[in-house]
Structures are given as C-alpha cells and as structure tokens.
Structure 1
Amino acid sequence: MTRPVYVHDLDGLDRHVRAIRAALPPRTELLYAVKANPEPDVLRTLAPVVDGFETASRGELRRLAKVLPGRAPAAYAGPGKTDGDLAAALAAGVARIHVESPAELRRLGALAAAAGVPARVLLRVNLPLEVAGASLVMGGRPSPFGMDPADAVECARRPPPGIEVHGVHAHLASGLDAPLAGAVAAAVVRWSVAEIGAHEVDVGGGMAVDYAQPAARFDWAGYGRALGDILDGHPGLRLRVEPGRSVTVYCGAYLTEVVDVKRSYGEWFAVVAGGTHHLRTPAAKGHAHPFTVHPRPDAAGPRTDGGPVTVVGQLCTPKDVLSRSADVGPIGVGDVLVFAMSGAYAWNISHRDFLLHEPPEFRTGDPHRLAAEWAARPVGS
C-alpha cells in the first residue's frame, strides 16, 4: 500500500498564474502569499511570473532564501513581530515591511537607525469598511490586525527616524468575489490617498475560492478592470495585490487509499489512510472537501451502495472528517480517492504530529494519472 501523497500540477499552476498576471493592469504588482503553500516546487514555478513574495515569518524568509537565493521578499507582514523578526526582515532586504502598530513602527525605526539602513514600510490600516458577503472579516472591528485609521495618519505624518512611509496595506477580508474585491480596493485607495497621500497601496488578497464548485474561478479579468479604473483616477499610484489560496489551491491534490468500508446505524463510512492530520482544510473551513473516486478493478471487499458516505481518516477523534454525504457512487476497499483543491492551506496547516503517523509523500505531475496507475496495482501493493 502506498502512503498518501500530495501531487502538484506545476504546468497547470504556471498557466493559472500567467493568466492572473495577464488580467492585472499596468502599475499593479502581483505578490504571492507564501503562507498559502510554501512547497519549494511551487515557489520555483511562481518565481518567473509574480513580482514578488509576501512573507510572514522568519521561517518563510529562510525558505525563500534557500529555494530562491538572491531574491529578496517583496513584503514582510503579520502581527506580533519581535525585534528579531524585524531585524531579519531588514537583513533580508525586504522591499516593504507591513507595520501593524505605532509601537512596532517605533521599534523598527530604532533597529533601522542602529543598522544604518532605512526601513521602507506600508502601514497596515484597519479601515471601517462594509464587506458583506465575505467569508472571513479581519477589519472594521476590534482586531489584532493593523492600526486604527487615526493612528495610521499620525504615524504617516510623524514617522520615527529610520522609517520611510511609502503607503498603506489593508487586508480586510477573505472570500471576496471580484465585484466586492474591486469595491474594497477602491475604498482603501480613496482613504489612503486622501488621508496620508499614499503613492503605494497594497489592497491584500482574499479572492474567493468555492470548494463546493471546484470548476468555479475568481473573475480575474473583471477584477483587473476594476483595478484599472482605480489607477486611471490616480496617475501616480502603484497597486499591489497578494493572493495566496486563489493562486495555488487548484494545482494540488491529495491522494489516498480506502482501507475500510462499513455501515454504522444505517450510514456508510469510508476510512482512508491519512486524514485531517495531512489535509486540515476541510476541518478548518468546515466543508465537505471535493473528491473523485478511482475504483480498484480487483477489489473484493465491501462497497458502499452509491449513496451518501462520510469519508474519515485514521485519527482517534470524530473530527477527523474529510467529506460528508458525498454522492460519488460506490466506494470500496482499495479504491483511490483524489481530493482536489488541496494546493493551499493543506499540509502546511495540518496538525501533523497527532498520533505520529507517517507524513504524506510529495510528487509533481497529473494527479488523476497517478491515481489511475495506483488503482491499477494489485490490492495491498
């Protein structure tokens, strides 16, 4: 039996990110948020296309330095930065440090002055915008993310020594469709230009990904037109966007084998090798993760009746659920399941040490071709 495996379709990723880049207007920089998927092959594939990488930890700085030596990150973000984090960002030559509070700005200024290098920053602002329809809201309410608008204005007007304020960063919500993302970007730019005279604005990411409709895609062309309209009204402005999930989610799949099938109080369960300690996305988002079945022709064990089934993993908790009530046809022992849309916030956010199971393998290529080859092997191989 093969261990569960993540398969990254790098050719598909390259096509997808090039289409995103082509949809964005001039004077718009495309950054990739490394937190979504920091796998080395993914970073190498994106490097020739994106304008830079957004990092949020010293670990991500080290990963970029190892995988892409000589390529300084475009941004360093996140709350709770220690002096060590800020010093590491300065040493790495990060183009823009996103500052979350006045106190962080003062500490960064002292470090920059001591090092004799300027700290070029964007002020992360928690603006009171309406984002109805978003799946996750991080702004417009009390939050650890960013500073209140009045504090940001004061920081921009009176930055401490060692600081160069270049503009504003605002990542206010996730799960935005293109019209809402465009409206949020326009509101952020209006405030940034009017209140602090910003000539650079990072409007964040948060582009919607619909796990219930795997074929759906964010309307990058429509979003690009909205950004173009914003830029037409501000000739000296540069925009940045920093998507993560919406860039890589479609390029990754998690493949695993069914090890048991059973009924419990009239309901079918399929138990697979692995589980949410490998693929935490469905538990984190509370959804039924989309999957397809590659049946094993020589399977002789029990099979579900083709109706609803709950797919679970090997952990000693009832929360180890990958998908519920999926109507995907009969499932039997030995079948290979391909969980699509596993290219972001998957292995890298999983509670991988719970029960100390073996980690998954990692490969590149076509996940369905690999699944078909796997299912064609004799049972137990």
Structure 2
Amino acid sequence: MTREFQVQGVPVSELARRYGTPLFVYDGTALRDRFHGLRDRLHPAMEVFYSLKANPNISICALLHSFGARAEVSSLVELTTALRAGVPPQQVIFLGPGKSRQELAACLDSGIHAVVCESIPEVALVDELARERGVKAPVALRVNPRFAVKRSGLAMGGRPRQFGIDEEELFATTDLVKRFPDVDLMGVHVYMGTRILHEAVIVENTTRILDLAERLSAALNLELRMVDVGGGLGVSYFDGESDLDAQVLTDGLHPVIEDFTARHPGTRLIMELGRYLTAEAGTYVMGVRYTKTSMGERFAVADGGTHHHMAAVGIGSFVKRNFPMAVLNRLDEPATEEWNVTGPLCTPGDTIGKKVPLPPVRPGDLIGVHRSGAYGPTASPGLFLSHGYPAEVLVHEGRCHLVRERDSPEDLLQRQRLYDPTAHDAADVPH
C-alpha cells in the first residue's frame, strides 16, 4: 500500500479534496513543539515575541500566543492582526524603518509596549504625536552597531542600512532625553541578521548587544527597561545545513542572560522569532496538472508556483537551491528521476524546483514543498497574472480549520473600478 503524507492523521489527499490545491497546510502540533522546545529551555527572563512578518495569518498568531508568544509587528495591519488575535497591547512592539504617521498614532492610541524608532526624525514625530495626545510615548531606539553579524543568511546591521540609528550617532547625541520631553526613552533594539544556524554566533551577538545596550544607557542617561536582542534563529532548508540545537543554544545564552539580569533585574528582555517558529510547521501542496519532456529534461507543471512561494526559489539568496520537496501521495516510492517543478505562470521564472530528485511523476500527483510555514504568501507576488492567493489550512488537535479562503476572481476584481470611455460624468479628481 502506498504511504501518504499526513498532518495529524489527516491524509494530504483528503486535504486536497476538501480545500483544493494549491494550499498551505500548517501543523498546530509542530508549532507548539517548536515554541516550547525553545521556550522551556530559555532563561525565564527572556521573552519570545513572534514576528508576524514570517506568517501574518491571524490564526497562526493566535495559536502561538496561546502557547505564550508575544507579538512583534511592522505594519498597521500586523498591529491590528495581533490585537484581534488576542495579544495584549503591552505584549506588542512595533518596528520598521518607514512608519507612517497613521501607524505611529495607532501605536500610541492602542498602548503597545514600545515603538522601536529607527531614526532621530522618527523620534521627533513620535514626540509630536505624544504631545498632541497628552501622553508619554514609550520608545526603544534601534541601533545599527559598528560590529557586523557572522555567518548570517541576510545581514541587517553593521553596515550602511535603512535600519536603525548608527551607533556613533547615538553616542554623539547625548541630549535625546532632553530634546524630546514627551518621549519615554526606555530601551534598545538591535537586530543583526537572519537565518543564523550557529549557536555560538547567536550567543556572541547577544552578548555584544547587551553590552552595547548598557553603554548606551549610561551615555544617554536613559532608563534601560527593555532590550530587544533581535533573533535571526535559522532553519535548515538545504543539503549540508543543520538545525540549531535548542539545548546547546540555551546553555550558551543562560550565563549571558543571568549575568545581565543580575545587574538589571527590572529590564525586559526580548527575542524576536518568526521563521524559526513557523517554517517547519508548514507544507505547500501543489497538484500536478501536466508532465512533459523538453530537450531531455522532465517537467511537472503544477497548479502552484512562485506567486505563492517565492522564498522557495531563493529570494534574498545568492545561491539558488531547492527546498525539500516530495511527491506527497507516494512517499514510499524511491526518487529515481530528476524533475523540474514549475507552476502555471506565463514566465520562465515560475520554476519552484530544478532537477528535484523525485519518483516518476504523474498528472494528479500532489507535490509538497516542506518547511514552508514562513515567508510563503507574505513574501510572494500573489497578484502576478491575477492568480491570487491560495487557501491556508491549520490542522490542530486532529481537526482541520480553513484559516484563509482562496482568492476568487471576484475577490481580485472587486477593488478595481471600470473606466467607461462613453460616460460623461465628472471624473474623481482630488481637490
């Protein structure tokens, strides 16, 4: 009997029949195990904040919050999502280099724990908005440090960046507290990079960030009530990579955190995690429509592709490698052939896997891209060629929940307006 991929006992063929393909499937047990696998080992002073940018589905956020995760958001919709998912405002921080006036106002009006400011002009705008409201605005300063991350998939500090305020500039601007009287400068944030797969690097980065926070606190005369050490914990996708060992990581972090909290017992410590929490729990499921051979190479043409899962083709990476893939309805068959897995888009770039080792592929097969719970729809051109976004299904405690409906043609057209060249009514012209 052919072995089939299952999520908590639910066969993938049943999921495809009920919800159609392509679709993202999330395993709630995998989310829980991933969260607690780190949280239960991590020093109790370090709080885990879920970065919604990795997967902004409201049900994913709500489930992670039920396990104990807080929320880190970077847009008005992500802020609204976190609050509607049940995350209390004091468990929310907001960051990003180009926040709008509307977003900053929403932060102050909702009473979140901290606005992470990434430039001096942004601090000035927050000061203005706080004065209008008669409140003190809680602000953490994002720092672009002199030191750079080691062995990161994508560095986000240590060089000229749109992120944060250069370390040198902050140490030279010691009158910030006096200049902005309606801002409560209460913390420091540093985010060095992503996809770090070496425990010692994370420990070293954390050590240096905590040291920088202490020195800035003394130089700027700000009360250090929060330090966000970023995160960047990686997930292995490719041959030759290994997942982080949570025990090794936390054993290394524990004395660093213990030493810091002994000196700063009232400081709230934050680690941001997105990909690390959700990637492993997700599978992108595509149905094969056609198979063909072209100039000696095999092609499986599926109903899903890069418009839903751009991350799988190496967005942000110099080296393009395949995510782990399988024929989900025939797991026990050996991978004896190489297949190019392509999607329905009318572009040669819609190749989600090149020369992927698979068993002989047939129309009707279900191909899955594993480790797809992060940066799927949220980092993909879902409107390209007007295919829209796929369904998303959460399986938790053995039950299936449709947590995002598939886009329909009407969904994609309803916000457009048809121009009628025969009409003579006045056009909508801004005054």
Q: Choose from 269, 291, 304 the match for 1:274.
A: 304
Q: Give deviations 1:153-194, integer Å, cap 9, x for gaps.
A: 355652211111122100011121221111111111112112
SS in 1 for 2:144: coil
The TM-score, its normalising length taken from structure 2, stands at 0.79
2:201 maps to 180
Paired-residue identity, %:
30
Work out whether residues 282 and 370 of structure 2, in 8 Å CA contact, stay in contact via their aligned partners in 1: yes
SS in 2 for 1:47: helix
SS in 1 for 2:301: strand
What is the Cα deviation at residue 228 of structure 1?
1.6
Q: Give deviations 1:245-300, integer Å, cap 9, x for gaps.
A: 01000111111111111111111111101211122211324331211113479xxx
Q: Choose from 359, 372, 378 the match for 2:389.
A: 359
Q: Choose from 153, 164, 167 the match for 2:187.
A: 167
Counterpart CA distance in 2 for 1:29 and 1:50 is: 9
What is the Cα deviation at residue 216 of structure 1?
4.3
Counterpart CA distance in 2 for 1:57 and 1:214 is: 35
Give me the CA root mean square deviation.
Answer: 2.5
1:1-381 matched pairs, under 5 angstroms: 2-68=20-86, 71-154=89-172, 157-159=175-177, 160-176=180-196, 177-197=198-218, 198-212=224-238, 216-234=242-260, 235=262, 236=264, 237-283=267-313, 284=315, 285=317, 286-295=320-329, 306-365=336-395
Counterpart CA distance in 2 for 1:280 and 1:58 is: 24
Work out whether residues 335 and 357 of structure 2, in 8 Å CA contact, stay in contact via their aligned partners in 1: no
Q: Tell me, which stretches of 5 or more residues in structure 2 are unaligned? A: 1-16, 219-223, 401-431
What is the Cα deviation at residue 49 of structure 1?
2.6
What is the Cα deviation at residue 219 of structure 1?
2.3
Structure 1 range deviating more: 18-27 or 208-217: 208-217
Partner amino acid, structure 2, of 1:108: V
SS in 1 for 2:356: coil
Counterpart CA distance in 2 for 1:264 and 1:51 is: 49
Work out whether residues 293 and 337 of structure 1, in 8 Å CA contact, stay in contact via their aligned partners in 2: yes
Work out whether residues 25 and 282 of structure 2, in 8 Å CA contact, stay in contact via their aligned partners in 1: yes
C-alpha spacing 1:128/1:50, structure 2 compared with 1 (3 Å): farther
Partner amino acid, structure 2, of 1:334: G
1:375 maps to none
Work out whether residues 73 and 93 of structure 1, in 8 Å CA contact, stay in contact via their aligned partners in 2: no
What is the Cα deviation at residue 121 of structure 1?
1.4
Work out whether residues 294 and 336 of structure 1, in 8 Å CA contact, stay in contact via their aligned partners in 2: yes
C-alpha spacing 1:125/1:215, structure 2 compared with 1 (3 Å): closer
Q: Which 4+ stretches in 1 moved above 6 angstroms?
A: none
Counterpart CA distance in 2 for 1:27 and 1:143 is: 30
SS in 1 for 2:47: strand
Structure 1 range deviating more: 49-58 or 284-293: 284-293
